[in-house]
Amino acid sequence: MNDDAQLRELVPAVIGVLVRRGADFSSAEDAVQEALIRALQVWPEDPPRDPKGWLVTAAWHKFVDAARSETARQRRELVIDAEPPAGAVPAADDTLRLYFLCAHPTLPSAAAVALTLRAVGGLTTRQIAQACLVPEATMAQRIVRAKRRIEGLPLDQPGDLATVLRVLYLVFNEGYGGDVDLAAEAIRLTRQLIALTDNDPEVAGLLALMLLHHARRDSRTGPGGQLIALAEQDRARWDTALITEGVAILQTALARDRLGEYQAQAAIAALHADASQATETDWVQIVEWYDELLALTDSPVVRLNRAVAVGEADGAQAGLKALAEVAPDVPRHAAVAAYLHERAGDLSQAADLYAEASHAATNVPERDYLARQAARVRQGVRR
């Protein structure tokens, strides 16, 4: 097992074993990271017969060494016993509980993402910092604060699966930087979570959603990094294997008749993927799925996206009427209003709204895209 991703698969189970034996979470996580470094040095020339058992032993020794150095100041004393076999601990349960702990509801979103990538994903602080596009020192502080915040929380308490899914989706949407693809990492961790939760339909729905979005990744930007809207993407560049897998996973999840928000979102993404060209998109069904999603979440962002779908299915005026039910301070409101006003033929107002949306954009590609739309529509007004 020389592949780095395969090695990281073992991390959460090994941390769980150490915590089961009495290690606090922070010390266990540190010990496992040290064991990983040692494994990367030793395994290429001397691969172990039992990789997990090797990591458990190495990490436990690291932990005990650190704990013994504290014994001079503290009353606790630990003694190394013969290592029990790797299968002696319910590793699947430990791993699932570790997901819950790293995505604890008391943690801010950014901290939960960082801790999940570190403890469950097995990434180094440097890798996480590069992938999240922040300085390594900043990420190190974020992880330390997160570990302090959950210090003392037991690993044997029931967790909130919805929070775990939200954190994994945040990881998926975090972006890409350095030598780690966070979208691929989120997909890997969600696949692992499916096995741990007995194919929970909402976990499966999230995986399907990720796969369907990931399938369009190469078509989302042009050669210069410029944003390409869904309707303008080259669908020949979509990954049909990922789409096929995502749709199959979604169908199996929906068959269990326990609809959740990620399944509904995946159904919308599947309808987009099913259209060989934008004009063939089944907007009527998409509106119906947005209605289901709205019943589940009552989210203003869902209402905003539904307004776009209504505009496509029933015309721009119907879309503007649906948009009137959404507060103007919802992110991307001006961009949606601009699009619908343009489709309604009100080019002057559309151009102003595109410009307003461009100024409010939170990233450069989106800002530039909206600025180009404003310029294009203004050119149409002058004709």
Q: Which of 234, 238, 236, 178 is nearest to 212 (CA)?
A: 238
Block residue for tokens 């007995």: 198
Looking at residue 77, its pLDDT comes to: 38
Domain range annotation of the chain: 1-197, 199-225+232-273, 282-329, 331-383
What pLDDT shows up at residue 191? 95
If you compute the radius of gyration of the chain from its CA atoms, what whole number of angstroms results?
24
Alpha-carbon gap, residue 344 to 307, rounded angstroms: 14
Q: Looking at residue 278, what is its pLDDT?
A: 95
pLDDT band at 92 (very low <50, low <70, confident <90, very high): low
| Angle CA 131–62–186, to nearest 5 | 25
Structure confidence by residue, pLDDT tens digits, 319-367: 999 999 999 999 999 999 999 999 999 999 999 999 999 999 988 999 9
pLDDT tens-digit readout, 104-148 = 988 999 999 999 999 999 888 999 998 888 899 999 999 999 998
Structure token digits, residue 74? 């503290």
Do residues 102 and 155 make contact, with C-beta atoms less than 8 angstroms apart? no
Q: What secondary structure does DSSP assign to 203-235, as a single string?
A: HHHHHHHHHHHHTTGGGSB-TTS-B--GGGS-G
Confidence of residue 89 (pLDDT cuts 50, 70, 90): very low
189 contacts 195 by C-beta, under 8 angstroms? no
Whole-angstrom CA distances from 37 to 177, 178, 257, 284 are 22, 19, 45, 53
pLDDT at 35 over 80: yes
Residue 74 clears pLDDT 60, i.e. is over it: no
Does 266 have pLDDT greater than 90?
A: yes
- Average pLDDT, rounded, for the chain: 88
- The CA–CA distances, whole Å, from 224 to 56, 126, 220, 221, 228 equal 47, 27, 11, 8, 11
Nearest Cα neighbor of 378 from 335, 346, 330, 333 is 346
- CA distance linking residue 333 with residue 28, whole number of Å: 46
Residue 34 to residue 222: CA distance in whole angstroms: 41
Q: In 3-state terms, the chain is what percent helix, strand and coil (to 5)?
A: 70, 0, 30
CB 57 within 8 A of CB 84: no
Residues whose CB falls within 8 Å of the CB of residue 334, separated by 6 or more in sequence, listed in order = 328, 353, 354, 356, 357, 360
91 pLDDT band (50/70/90 cuts)? low
Query: Do 273 and 248 contact (CB within 8 A), yes or no?
Result: no
- pTM (predicted TM-score): 0.83
Gap between the terminal Cα atoms of the chain:
65
- pLDDT for the residue numbered 287: 98
pLDDT in tens, 210-232: 999 999 999 999 988 899 999 99
SS3 257: coil
Q: What are phi and psi of 177, to 5 degrees?
A: -165, 160
Across the range 153-164, mean pLDDT stands at 78
Q: Give the pLDDT band (50/70/90) at residue 203.
A: very high
| Spacing of C-alpha 204 from chain mean position | 14
- The residue behind tokens 């016993």 is 81
What six digits make up the tokens of 3?
A: 């592949």
Q: Which of 289, 234, 281 is nearest to 260 (CA)?
A: 289
